[in-house]
């Protein structure tokens, strides 16, 4: 089979030929049809992600496809089932073996291409806003990086939870996509003063921030008393240093959050969240945005779309 593997840290990954794997007793083997890309894939190539698989390894955090074989202890899945998986790596290949516990059956109305771009983006936003930030109806949610993979899902979920959503993104084209996702107010990070605009709209009760850097600082200053701010990543390349005096004066919570970590210490919380999201999709209440779909042979080009920020929503590689 073919697999898109990282052989050396910091070097581009390459498409290689390797043996088809066999599932362990608690695993399924997936005939992969598509795999969603994430900013974490770029960090894995650099060796700066939270998890560092032993080299060489196959990239790709969220594959989707058809179950091809099951281990002897697997009872919840069977060959022929259509599933999406979150596993951290292994998805950019023709086949992969993954824990059955990490697999999610796809609704009949969800294609594998959509399924491959669904779990991480929607799962991250739902657990962040509902479980960690305790977002309430009537509150104001500020979403930074609002046209990205997780940003658009935060807009959709925030609106569904009854919040007023302020979307911040770079350029009018990206803001138009955020508006289509349901954002009530738009901020162009290239030209607008985020702090002034958010304050003029009444301030933020929850801040969803995958960007960091100067935007984090401006958002923190625009927070209302008892606001909650969630740093999800640092796409700006700058990890903000948080001034404790502002937290003290405004009684602000800064909430640590790593979605993938729930698989290890509270998997039921994560799986219940994904079950809810898949039910919402099946009912027609969520509308994933995939800006680019490229074949496995162009996986490096697909990653470059993320690196150069030329994509919106999700980038999916088809196998």
- DSSP characters over 245-258: HHHHHHT-EE----
What span, in angstroms and rounded, lies between the C-alpha atoms of 271 and 257? 16
Start-end of H helices in 67-188: 112-116, 119-126, 149-160, 172-180
Q: What is the pLDDT of residue 286?
A: 96
Instruction: State the pLDDT at residue 234.
Output: 87
Residue 318 has a pLDDT of 98
Give the C-alpha distances (Å, rounded to integers) separating 296 from 91, 94, 106, 202, 300. 11, 9, 22, 46, 9
Phi-psi region of 202 (alpha: psi -120 to 50; beta: other; left: phi over 0): left
Looking at residue 50, its pLDDT comes to 83
- pLDDT tens sequence across 3-39: 999 998 878 899 999 999 999 999 999 999 999 999 9
Peptide bond before 78: cis, by omega within 30 degrees of 0? no
Residue among 89, 82, 3 nearest 38 (CA): 89
Per-residue pLDDT of the chain (319 residues; tens, 9 = 90+): 999 999 988 788 999 999 999 999 999 999 999 999 999 999 999 988 888 899 999 999 999 999 999 999 999 999 999 999 999 899 999 999 999 999 999 999 999 999 999 999 999 999 999 999 999 999 999 999 999 999 999 999 999 999 999 999 999 999 999 999 999 999 999 999 999 999 999 999 999 999 999 999 999 999 999 999 999 988 888 898 999 999 999 999 999 999 989 999 999 999 999 999 999 999 999 999 999 999 999 999 999 999 999 999 999 999 9
CA distance 44 to 228: 29
Q: All domains of the chain, ordered by start, with CATH?
A: 2-118+288-318 (3.90.180.10), 121-260 (3.40.50.720)
Which letter does DSSP use for residue 21 in this model?
A: P
């Amino acid at each position: 089979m073919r697999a898109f593997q990282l052989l050396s840290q910091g070097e581009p990954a390459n498409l290689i030929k390797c043996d088809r794997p066999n599932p362990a007793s608690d695993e399924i083997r997936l005939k992969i049809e598509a795999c969603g890309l994430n900013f974490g894939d770029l960090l894995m190539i650099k060796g700066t992600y939270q998890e560092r698989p032993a080299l060489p390894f196959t990239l790709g955090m969220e594959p989707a496809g058809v179950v091809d074989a099951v281990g002897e202890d697997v009872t919840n899945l069977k060959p022929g089932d259509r599933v999406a998986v979150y596993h951290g790596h292994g998805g950019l290949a023709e086949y992969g073996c993954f824990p059955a516990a990490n697999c999610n059956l796809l609704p009949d109305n969800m294609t594998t291409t959509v399924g491959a771009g669904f779990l991480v983006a929607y799962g991250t936003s739902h657990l962040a806003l509902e479980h960690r930030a305790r977002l309430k109806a009537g509150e104001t949610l500020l979403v930074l990086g609002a046209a990205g993979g997780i940003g658009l899902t935060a807009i959709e979920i925030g609106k569904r939870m009854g919040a007023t959503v302020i979307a911040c993104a770079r350029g009018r084209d990206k803001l138009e996509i955020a508006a289509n996702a349901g954002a009530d107010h738009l901020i162009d990070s290239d030209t607008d003063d985020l702090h002034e605009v958010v304050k003029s709209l009444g301030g933020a009760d929850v801040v969803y921030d995958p960007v960091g850097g100067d935007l984090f600082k401006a958002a923190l200053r625009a927070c209302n008393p008892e606001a909650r701010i969630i740093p999800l990543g640092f796409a700006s390349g700058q990890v903000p240093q948080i001034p404790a005096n502002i937290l003290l004066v405004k009684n602000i919570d800064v909430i640590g959050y790593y979605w993938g970590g729930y698989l290890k210490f509270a998997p039921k919380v994560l799986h219940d969240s994904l079950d809810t999201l898949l039910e919402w999709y099946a009912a027609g209440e969520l509308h994933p945005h995939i800006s680019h779909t490229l074949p496995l042979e162009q996986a490096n080009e697909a990653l470059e779309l993320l690196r150069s920020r030329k994509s919106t929503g999700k980038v999916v590689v088809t196998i």
